[in-house]
Structure 1
Amino acid sequence: MNKKEMEQAIIQNYQKEENMMILVFAQWCINHDLDPFSLYMKAYPDQANNPALAHALELTVSKEEAGDISNDTVLGVLAMFGNDDLAFVVSEEMEKLKKDRY
């Protein structure tokens, strides 16, 4: 594998992992009756059109079909990709959900 092919493989791997992070976020939102686009817009108001999030939503399943995604998991994958603003918004929603339960 030459240098160009190696760089391309690394980029493709990163993009696949990034798409998985977006899917985890979207499914976590669905599991908690939250709108992923609304949360994303709170974090990144200048990025109204996010094709990757739209694609991830096509891959989500109903919360009844989905497995549990822990709060730590969603925050962990967001942090791994430097989505600190989105992680902050998600944390705020987690607090609201916790208060609603009590």
Structure 2
Amino acid sequence: MDKKTFQKKIIELYQEDEMVMIRLFIQWCQRKELDPHVLYRTAYPTQRDNEILTQLLASEETYDDIVVENDTMLDLLQLFGNDELAFVVAEEIEKTRK
């Protein structure tokens, strides 16, 4: 495999993993009865809506068969560099603990 093909494959795998992370974020929000768009906008107020998030929500897919624990959600968000969103999620988790 040449370098260009290898780099392309790495990017594709990252994008696939990012889709999984977004699906899990949607599922986590649904279980907590939170709007994923609201959390995203709170974390990133200067950005436009996340297109992938919008597409996945519009697809009406459900993820009821997957349960994402709070700590796992925070770890996933941080793994993908979504530190601001992880902070907003942590605040929501804290609200439910009180």
TM-score using structure 1 length: 0.86
| 2:22 is equivalent to residue 34 of structure 1 | no
Unaligned residue ranges in structure 1 (runs of 5+): none
2:82 partner amino acid: N
- Measure how far apart 1:61 and its partner are: 1.6
Q: Distance in 2 between matches of 1:60 and 1:40?
A: 19
Identical positions, percent: 46
The 1:27–1:60 alpha-carbon spacing in structure 2 relative to 1, beyond 3 Å, is farther
Cα RMSD for the two superposed structures? 1.5
- Measure how far apart 1:78 and its partner are: 0.4
TM-score using structure 2 length: 0.90
Q: Contact 2:25–2:36 (CA<8 Å) still a contact in 1?
A: yes
- Measure how far apart 1:49 and its partner are: 2.2
Aligned length: 97
Q: Deviations over 1:41-100 (max 9, x none)?
A: 0000112221111123236427xx34321001100100111111000000000111222x
